[in-house]
Amino acid sequence: MEVAFVFISLFLVIFGICYLFFSTRNKERLALIEKGAEASIFVRGKREKAAPFWKILVLNLALLLMGIGAGIMLGGILHYSSHVNMEIAMPGSIFLTAGTGLLIGFFLTKQLDKEK
């Protein structure tokens, strides 16, 4: 019974968020049209300055995987040299270095966009 309640609640939350997003967007667009704004602001054209999506994806995925690998090595080093408990050393170091890799990926992506 509890599992069904969780899934129903999850579905309702997702539906509510989507409903609010689309209804608010629709009201906002109607208000802009009534004021006489151009319709071209609703069209998302290709940004010529942006780097291709696949380059950003590959960069961030590579840095994430490198961070996970470094975290596993760092966790092993912490466990064997500092005698830190394995259940604490591994997840902590993996999440720390994976997050650091994604943060580096964010800054590199910003630089990639500036160069184009």
Please write the tens of the pLDDT for every residue from 74-83.
999 999 999 8
- Do 32 and 67 reside in the same domain of the chain? no
Contacts of 84 (CB under 8 A, 6+ apart): 78
Q: Which of 25-29, 58-62, 111-115 holds the top average pLDDT?
A: 58-62
pLDDT computed for residue 3 by the predictor: 83
Q: Containing domain of residue 12, as a range?
A: 2-42
Is 65 a residue whose pLDDT tops 70? yes
Task: Give the gyration radius of the chain's Cα atoms.
Answer: 23
- Do 79 and 110 reside in the same domain of the chain? yes
pLDDT computed for residue 4 by the predictor: 85
- Do 81 and 34 reside in the same domain of the chain? no
- H/E element, 105: helix 86-115
Question: Would residue 48 count as lying in a domain?
Answer: no
- Do 33 and 57 reside in the same domain of the chain? no
Q: Distances from the Cα of 116 to the Cαs of 44, 65, 108, in angstroms?
A: 19, 26, 13
Task: Return d(Cα 101, Cα 95) in angstroms, integer.
Answer: 10
pLDDT computed for residue 2 by the predictor: 81
